[in-house]
């Protein structure tokens, strides 16, 4: 799940027919993705509503098992710190959820069966596509190898990135992720490396650096050229310092909100709130 400063209001009309969803988080005050989901449901005529739930790690199992028995619940999203632990309480985890090692959405079927998936990466790709950015054949510099970074690295490689360099503060995590991506997608030349954007067609910040305005971007923006696309998955501020610098260099930019909006349509299909032709 993403977070951010939505700063918007939703015209919610919740009845006994409404499909209910939750976002499980701890802490919970920063969670704003629910507002975007509710706006999207209103705009698309979907009778569904999302509420954040503050759930401590020790209570996760009992809350998930209670949700299993709530018959008007379509499913739930999970964010920090539950994305890894929640897998132990589910009936099924998708192949990509297993590969990434974390789940961010769980569907509750009519019989109470719980299925987890991770759509952070495909949501990011959907956000790129909405912005007219193709990945196939591109050279990508990814900053970060945390939870979202893992999902995005597998998605970029799966979408045909020719080269993927992963730069992370903890270099062992970048090396381990690069090795897993190479094993999963041998056609992608994936390696751990420096945060040097020279030669990259696409630079992606998947770290939390940029949440605060006093944080300098991890990649030097002065070497960016106008042909480079720069994406930042941070939701708030909507335009991070990295993106401000990239815009000043004439680059195309993609914001964290594009990723979240990419995820919402995929999530609605996964939860069977809208007709599905195929799984996201």
Ligand X SMILES: NC(=O)c1ccc[n+]([C@@H]2O[C@H](COP(=O)([O-])OP(=O)(O)OC[C@H]3O[C@@H](n4cnc5c(N)ncnc54)[C@H](OP(=O)(O)O)[C@@H]3O)[C@@H](O)[C@H]2O)c1
* Residues recognised as catalytic: 83
Residue nearest to ligand X (CB): 146
E runs forming strands in the chain: 19-25, 48-54, 73-78, 92-93, 105-108, 114-117, 139-143, 163-167, 189-192, 202-205, 229-232, 252-254
Does 166 sit near ligand X (CB under 6 A)?
Answer: no
**Contact flag: residue 208 with ligand X (CB under 6 A):** yes
Q: Does 203 bind ligand X (CB under 6 A)?
A: no
Pick the binder of ligand X from 39, 117, 120, 201 (CB under 6 A).
120
> Using CB atoms within 10 A of its CB, is residue 137 exposed (0-12), middle (13-18) or buried (19+)?
exposed
| Contact between 259 and ligand X per CB under 6 A | yes
**Residue of 145, 157, 164, 203 interacting with ligand X (CB under 6 A):** 145
The stretch near ligand X (CB under 6 A) out of 14-22, 42-50, 162-170, 182-190 is 162-170
Strands 252-254 and 163-167: unpaired
Torsion of CA 22, 119, 102, 76, to 10 degrees: 10
- Rule CB under 6 A: is residue 149 a binding residue for ligand X? yes
Residue 237 binds ligand X (CB under 6 A): no
DSSP line for 238-266: SS-HHHHHHHHTT-EEE-HHHHHHHHHHH
In this complex, which beta carbon is closest to ligand X, that of residue 63 or of residue 218?
Answer: 218
Rounded to the nearest 10 degrees, the angle between the axes of helix 171-184 and helix 147-158 is 30
Q: Judged by CB under 6 A, does residue 144 bind ligand X?
A: yes
Asked whether position 235 contacts ligand X by CB under 6 A, the answer is: yes
Q: Is the Cβ of residue 109 or residue 196 nearer to ligand X in the bound state?
A: 196
Q: Name the site residues for ligand X (rule: CB under 6 A).
A: 2-3, 80, 120, 144-149, 168-170, 173, 206-209, 211, 218, 233-235, 256, 259-260, 263
């Amino acid at each position: 799940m993403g977070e951010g400063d939505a700063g918007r209001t939703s015209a919610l009309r919740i009845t006994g027919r409404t499909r209910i969803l939750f976002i499980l988080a701890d802490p919970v005050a920063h969670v704003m993705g629910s507002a975007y989901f509710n706006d999207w449901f209103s705009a698309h005529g979907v009778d569904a509503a999302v509420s954040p739930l503050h759930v401590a790690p020790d209570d996760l199992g009992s809350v998930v098992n209670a949700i299993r028995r709530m018959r008007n619940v379509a499913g739930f999203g999970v964010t920090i710190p539950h994305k890894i632990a929640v897998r132990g309480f589910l009936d099924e985890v998708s192949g990509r959820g297993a590969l990434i090692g974390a789940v961010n959405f769980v569907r509750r079927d009519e019989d109470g069966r719980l299925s987890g998936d991770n759509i952070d990466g495909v949501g990011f790709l959907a956000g790129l596509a909405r912005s007219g950015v193709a990945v196939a054949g591109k050279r990508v510099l990814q900053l970060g190898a945390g939870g979202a970074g893992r999902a995005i690295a597998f998605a970029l490689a799966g979408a045909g990135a020719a080269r993927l360099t992963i730069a992370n503060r903890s270099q062992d995590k970048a090396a381990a992720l690069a090795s897993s991506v190479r094993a999963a997608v041998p056609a992608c030349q994936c390696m751990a490396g420096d945060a040097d954007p020279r030669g990259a067609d696409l630079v992606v910040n998947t770290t939390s650096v940029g949440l605060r305005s006093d944080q300098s971007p991890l990649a030097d923006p002065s070497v960016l050229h106008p042909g480079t696309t720069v994406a930042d998955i941070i939701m708030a501020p909507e335009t991070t310092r990295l993106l401000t610098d990239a815009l000043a260099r004439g680059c195309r930019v993609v914001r964290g909100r594009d990723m979240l909006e990419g995820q919402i349509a995929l999530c609605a299909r996964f939860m069977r709130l809208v007709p599905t032709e195929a799984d996201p």
